Chains A and B, each alone.
Chain A
Amino acid sequence: MNRALTSERGRKDLALEHCRRVNAGDVDAILELYADRATFADPVGWNVRTGRDALRAHFEEAVAAGLREVPGEPVAGQDGMHAFIPVTAVMDYLPRGPVYAERGWLVPPADPAGKRLKRRCMLLLQIDETGLIRESQAFWGKSDLDVIG
């Protein structure tokens, strides 16, 4: 067991490191933080996906859309497993915007050129005893999503 990673501070550092790697745009480095059979829901309540291939596809699309995340202050669970961090994310409107519009999550802009998506979320990470993310749940709803210029 890597105690440094499963301590409260270790789990908070992992959550912040996840944001740093997203902003660096390095998908391989992001995936190194996850266990092989990790599950993720983004957003919670839509669907749950499993495994590295699904994670890679998810982050490759997001990085290609210029995803930038601004983390807030993380907290840790007293269960030895969880970290929870507020994240404000901005990415290009394309390609996800039309998908979200089709689902009724946003009103599409008249001209999507140059538009971006801004999303406030709370990211709940469950971290295994080796310090890898076993489950990632991004909480956000329609009212937490905006189209910005």
Chain B
Amino acid sequence: MPDEAFRKAMVQEYARRLNAGDVEGALDLFTDDVVFEDPVGRPPTVGREALRRHLVLSVENHVEETPGESVTSMCGRFVVTPARVVLRTPAVMSLYIIGIVEFNDEGLGCHVRAFWGMTDMTVGVARHPDATAQADATRQHA
């Protein structure tokens, strides 16, 4: 069973590999039969090959994922992380996501649920990450 530190580190490592364009490295963090819901509410991506296509598309769109601080669960199975994701398609799409990764006993991600709604997406606005964090802080303390 992967411990809490392992689960939190996995999310950071996933973002690092994806942002570097290392699709095979990112895929190695998941099971062959992974179910990847991105976003939750749309048909899931199922299996390594389908996830490869999904991630290749993200890399082609210059994905830039910035995970925040994760939390876990008491059962050894989950990590939950807020993240900012920017895609350039070339229009700039910015997403705010809260994602759950469920792990198997070997520490591989077997189910991902990325929650983001139409109200969590902006198109055509390229905000600097520092400005975004500042805006969040302002909102939280308002």
Contact = CB atoms under 8 A, between A and B. Distances in A.
Nearest to B95: A75
B51 interface: no
Contacts of A141: 4, 71-74
A76 B118 CA distance: 8
B126 to A, nearest CB: 19
Given A122-B71, A143-B4, A75 B77 contact: no
A43 interface: yes
Q: Which of B4, B76, B82 has the most CB of A within 10 A?
A: B82
B5 interface: yes
B41 interface: yes
B97 interface: yes
Contacts, number: 98
Given A75-B98, A139-B80, A44 B74 contact: yes
B4 A139 contact: no
Q: What is the interface residue range for chain B against chain A?
A: 20 to 34
A79 B5 CA distance: 31
Contact of A9 (B40, B41, B119): B119
Interface string B34-75: 000001111000000000000000000000000001011111
A140 to B, nearest CB: 5
Interface stretch (A31-39, A50-58, A80-88): A80-88
Interface string A86-101: 1000000000000000
Nearest to B119: A8
Interface residues of A, number: 31
A45 B100 contact: no
A3 interface: no
Interface in A111-149: 120-122, 124, 139-144
Nearest to B71: A144
Given A75-B97, A78-B41, A12 B82 contact: no
Contacts of B111: none
Closest 10 CB pairs of A and B: A45-B75, A78-B41, A141-B72, A79-B41, A76-B117, A45-B74, A45-B73, A44-B73, A8-B117, A122-B80
